[in-house]
Amino acid sequence: MSHSMLSLSFAVVAFMAQESSAADLAKGKESFLSAGCHHCHGQAAQGARGPTMAAMKYPYEAFEIFVRRPVGGGMPPYSATTLTDAELRDIYAYLTSLPGPAKELPELLR
């Protein structure tokens, strides 16, 4: 790996660390609950009427687009005046920090 590629790699890692430290998990949980997300996605984002959001694998940009301009009519849009960019980043950090949903029941127990 060249010196410039190595420097770029370190810069990306440093930026990602800064991004995750800038987001606050406790504030994310608080915003998730106060914005009413739990009504459809469950108290721990494990899913309810809406899909599971815990352990989300989508990049932040995709999450932001969906929250701001959801498709399909199942979820209301959350504008930056309703949910600030900082709150949205905190919610994303909170959701990605949660464990994934419980495994499905074996066929025998359904």
pLDDT band with cut points at 50, 70 and 90 for residue 9: very low
Per-residue pLDDT of 50-97, as tens digits, reads 999 999 889 999 999 999 999 988 899 999 999 999 999 999 999 999
Q: What is the structure's pLDDT at 22?
A: 61
Closest-CA residue to 37 (of 97, 94, 106, 86): 94
Fold of domain 23-101: Cytochrome Bc1 Complex; Chain D, domain 2 (1.10.760)
Neighbours of 31 (CB within 10 A): 20
Closest-CA residue to 19 (of 82, 79, 81, 96): 96
97 vs 5: which has the higher pLDDT? 97
Enumerate the domain spans of the chain.
Answer: 23-101
What distance in Å separates the CA atoms of residue 106 and residue 92, rounded to the nearest whole number?
31
Burial of 53 (0-12, 13-18, 19+ CB in 10 A): buried
